[in-house]
Structure 1
Amino acid sequence: MRGRTAVVLGGSVAGLCAAGVLARHFDEVIVLERDRLPPGAEHRRGVPQSKHPHFLLNSGRRAIGEIFPGFEEALIAAGGMRLMPSMDAAYCENDGWAPRKSGSMTMIYGSRVLIERVLRDKVRELPAIEIREGVTVTGLRATGGGTARGRVEGVEYRTAGGEGRLAADLVVDALGRGSQVTGWLAAAGWPAPPEKTLDAKVTYASRWYDLPPADGRPESWWWKHLVVTPSQDRGDRPEEHEFLSNFFPIEGDRAIVCMGSWGIRMPRDTDAFEAAVDRVRATAFGRAARACTPTSEVHLTRSTGNKWRRFDLLDTPPAGLVCIGDSICAFNPFYAQGMSSAARSALILAELLRGRDALDPAFFRAFLDRQKASLDVPWMLAMARDQAYDFATGTEVAAPWRRRLTARFSWPVFNAVNAASREDAYVERTFAEVFNLDKSLREMALDPRFWFGIVRYQVRRRLGRTVVPGGFDEKQDPPGTDFTGYARSARSSSAGTGLVDA
């Protein structure tokens, strides 16, 4: 054991993952949660974003599985769906519907509330963990703030019955974007950590629907998930063509219809939402929503800026405190990185607790250094797109020349990668690894085999030698033909290059 008591602030995904790790190293782990937690998969005030789609990326899925063995199986048993996006999702890209084919990536689909419910069930299987509900954390207990001996030693809190204190050998801040820990540390004598910020003015709106009965769905509904990317046409068009739109499947034969944009005002009421759905550039999107039964109002979110509190840059970071999830680094939710990044941070904590004997300043410095390296991967991905917008604000706003360069080339590069992925398994696999945070954008950018695959595909395209068709009419239903065999044929025809895909 590394100590007697660990206290986790917040009982959402980040806090529950941290608690699962700490239960193996502390006599008692106390989770302080402001909300009263529902027994089932239900929304609660402290997680307003639960009303929107949530992707659990593969790196996060594996991390949670290491912390809570059997998590994935429990999630599927509770209604989650293991799908292969390239086969089970229809993607409308720049030139129309992408071809359907098998790929290297699978994902677990389900609502945020289901993911949290399954995690709570897993946490309650660990006897060392106690979840205290209806508790509002009001401050930290600390000594020597800002000095080499500075340490967080506990927390102060408030309940309906009054105020209290808890001593702790370790405190984990998992309070999310609204965490006040930085202010509490400042009051105790620590300097505020530098912050990196970038707000690309992303707004998104979601509404929940019941699907029609299975025997009442159109024959064209081979897909489970519909994705419509923003139009790259600069001509005159409805602003809905610039939306990133998802018809996202969740448990219980339901779907979340979500539309979002960079810098565009989104619909707030049901009439405006339904009208916008009908104007999304792929007409199958509106038809799908109209075939379903709405079960909620429209939920709107605008708190989407990227923000990284750089505790790793402090000369004397506080011992006794670890921050994970949005409390340390919050991302534009469009990129689906939050839950997975939090789980990866919890796994770093687990590895350090297994490998070190003392919770001394060196332990916390090592954690911050390794966490920084982990967060660099999703942060670079978020910056790669959000820095393209002239209206973005924050410390990480790019120089005008760089914004123009990013805006000019980000979509063409994305289109080239998607096109090459149709016939080149290495390109497809590498891009999936980057999307799932298993490989960094820098690693991909420096991979000669990856770029060879893209160039080779472009040469084959110009010579009329590509075999997997693409760009199917966005005004029609997405084609259900499985082009997997075509892709294998293309790889076989490239055997003479000596670079056949593994």
Structure 2
Amino acid sequence: MGRGTAVVLGGSVAGLCTAGALARHFENVIVLERDRLPPDAEHRRGVPQSKHPHFLLNSGRRAIGEIFPGFEDALIAAGGMLLMPSRDAAYCDQNGWAPRKSGSMTMVYSSRVLIERVLRDKVRELPVIELREGVTVTGLRSAGGGAAGGRVTGVEYRTADGAGTDIAADLVVDALGRGSSVVDWLGAAGWAAPPEKTLDAKVTYTSRWYDLPPVAERPASWWWKHLVIAPVQDRGGHPEEHEFLSNFFPIEGDRAIVCMGSWGIAMPRDVDAFEAAADRVRATSFGAAARACTPTSPVHLTRATGNKWRRFDLLDPPPIGLVCVGDSICAFNPFYAQGMSSAARSALILGAMLDERDVLDLAFFREFLARQKKSLAVPWMLAMARDQEYDFATGTEVAPRWRRRLAARFSWPVFNAVNAASREDAYVEQAFAQVFNLDKSLRQLIADPRFWYGIARYKLRQRLGRTVVPGGFDHRRDPPATDYTGYTGAAKTAASDLIGA
């Protein structure tokens, strides 16, 4: 430590993680937040997406754990649930319910508001961090904007009583999210606007909160904690609800968030339409589970879901003294659950660079942007792989027609093959989990011969009738409770449980 003052704009997940990473390196870390931060796990105006499910990927869990030791234990102690999705979640794919079995991936399930509350508790344990609440950032202080030595030198803001003031800063971190005005303020000061990559696949999702019934009153078929219904892979000839990605997502306090989303389909906005749509989701257990619970909220709808990457790494020169993290630099389609983890990874990169270097000069910020770009490219490629498939997508990253057709034809069959092979090949399962959790890039996976060998071997065994673990259990029935971990094929699966029986 020993550097002067760092100012973080925004007190959400990205801002809190970055403040934690800076606390070891600065004498003062000041977080400016527009909202009054609640003492408990409560929604607030500045995080409207908190009303929807949030996944904290394994790479994000590790990153936050490095920044705030004990974070995961604190989250679980506060009500978060450490579960294994392959064993504790019922997943319905194109062919029906997938078999239940142990896997390599675990996840802590909780609400976004609980994650933020635990992060705030951790931040408040660090005396160098000061949270200034109820303030509005109005601009940046800078010198030499656009020149090689141009630097951001501080922040202007307005207090709750309307008084304007400013802070001199050795480092400013923009964690203001998708709506950040930092690019506009930099432009007014003389810097060029960073090029932007965009892709909007017209994703809309809608959620409602529920209390679970008491344990003694839950149906006997509820072995699962989490229900996931994947969209069908063809268009037309069925209710549009069959194209929804649907989640019955468990959170702390014996509650669940029921969420339905789609690419390019208008989603229900009111209670009656929401309940009717849940009943038309192709797995009947989904609507039945919602009806067995007690609703505790209205319906919450979100449409601001486009992917957007502000390429500060392409600015020459970039502003000295400024770092952007979270949605301020790279916002993802929320369906892919990459935002919190990507933000925490950026915070970790910043902390590592401060460990390595003493001077916050132009070389420091160029190197940070290069490392951050490498980190962000991993989730960005995953988001593009799916969202570029749609003809109605808009933005700079819209794929050529031939590539959209190729993706539409082969992406789902490949995904289905990966899912099926994962049941019997531990390497395939672990490699895919690493990509999902941002521990390995999609490019690395594509170049992995052992991964493709595992899929090819499974497809051959499937063709020869020599696969072991069954799949494709009838989605019109309850998810099968049988745990197929270690299954050798000795026991017979009832034909009536399989689709087409």
Q: TM class by shorter-chain length?
A: over 0.9
Give the 3-state SS of the residue equivalent to 2:486 in structure 1.
Answer: helix
Contact residue 2 and residue 358 of structure 1 kept, 8 A? no
Give, in whole Å, the separation in 2 of the partners of 1:63 and 1:468.
Answer: 35
Contact residue 2 and residue 353 of structure 1 kept, 8 A? no
Equivalence for 1:37: 37
Equivalence for 2:24: 24
Equivalence for 2:135: 135
| Counterpart mapping for 1:23-422 below 5 A | 23-161=23-161, 162-422=163-423
Contact residue 388 and residue 398 of structure 2 kept, 8 A? yes
Contact residue 424 and residue 487 of structure 1 kept, 8 A? no
Give the 3-state SS of the residue equivalent to 2:108 in structure 1.
Answer: strand
Query: What's the offset of the Cα at 1:160?
Result: 2.5
Contact residue 88 and residue 224 of structure 1 kept, 8 A? yes
Contact residue 59 and residue 438 of structure 1 kept, 8 A? yes
Residue type at the aligned position of 1:133? E
| TM-score normalised by length of structure 2 | 0.97
Identity %: 82
Does the alignment pair 1:5 with 2:5? Answer: yes
Give ranges in structure 1 of 5+ residues lacking alignment. Answer: 490-502
Give, in whole Å, the separation in 2 of the partners of 1:413 and 1:395.
Answer: 26
Give the 3-state SS of the residue equivalent to 1:410 in structure 2.
Answer: helix
Contact residue 469 and residue 489 of structure 2 kept, 8 A? no
| TM-score normalised by length of structure 1 | 0.97
Does the alignment pair 1:437 with 2:438? Answer: yes
Over residues 370-410 of structure 1, what are the superposed CA-to-partner deviations in whole Å (9 max), with x where a residue is unaligned? 00000000000000000000000000000000111111111
Over residues 230-260 of structure 1, what are the superposed CA-to-partner deviations in whole Å (9 max), with x where a residue is unaligned? 0124451000000000000000000000000
Residue type at the aligned position of 2:417? A
Query: What's the offset of the Cα at 1:2?
Result: 5.3
Residue type at the aligned position of 2:142? A
Equivalence for 1:499: none
Give the 3-state SS of the residue equivalent to 1:438 in structure 2.
Answer: coil
Give, in whole Å, the separation in 2 of the partners of 1:487 and 1:61.
Answer: 34
Residue type at the aligned position of 1:353? L
Give, in whole Å, the separation in 1 of the partners of 2:179 and 2:235.
Answer: 37
Give ranges in structure 2 of 5+ residues lacking alignment. Answer: 491-501
Give the 3-state SS of the residue equivalent to 2:152 in structure 1.
Answer: strand
Contact residue 209 and residue 297 of structure 2 kept, 8 A? yes
Give, in whole Å, the separation in 2 of the partners of 1:357 and 1:116.
Answer: 31
Contact residue 82 and residue 109 of structure 2 kept, 8 A? yes
Over residues 292-314 of structure 1, what are the superposed CA-to-partner deviations in whole Å (9 max), with x where a residue is unaligned? 00000000000000000000001
Give, in whole Å, the separation in 2 of the partners of 1:258 and 1:250.
Answer: 13
The CA RMSD measured in Å over matched residues stands at 1.1
Equivalence for 2:469: 468
Query: What's the offset of the Cα at 1:486?
Result: 1.5
Give, in whole Å, the separation in 2 of the partners of 1:237 and 1:487.
Answer: 37
Over residues 209-244 of structure 1, what are the superposed CA-to-partner deviations in whole Å (9 max), with x where a residue is unaligned? 000000100110000000000012445100000000
Over residues 88-128 of structure 1, what are the superposed CA-to-partner deviations in whole Å (9 max), with x where a residue is unaligned? 00000010000000000000000000000000000000000
Cα–Cα, structure 1 residues 103 and 488, in superposed 2: closer, same or farther, change >3 Å?
Answer: farther
Contact residue 91 and residue 97 of structure 2 kept, 8 A? yes
Count of matched residue positions in the alignment of Structure 1 and Structure 2: 490
Equivalence for 1:497: none
Residue type at the aligned position of 1:169? D
Residue type at the aligned position of 2:36? R
**Runs (4+) off by over 2 Å:** none
Query: What's the offset of the Cα at 1:269?
Result: 0.1
Give, in whole Å, the separation in 2 of the partners of 1:33 and 1:96.
Answer: 46
Give, in whole Å, the separation in 1 of the partners of 2:360 and 2:326.
Answer: 21
Give, in whole Å, the separation in 2 of the partners of 1:302 and 1:373.
Answer: 28
Give the 3-state SS of the residue equivalent to 1:486 in structure 2.
Answer: coil
Query: What's the offset of the Cα at 1:283?
Result: 0.3
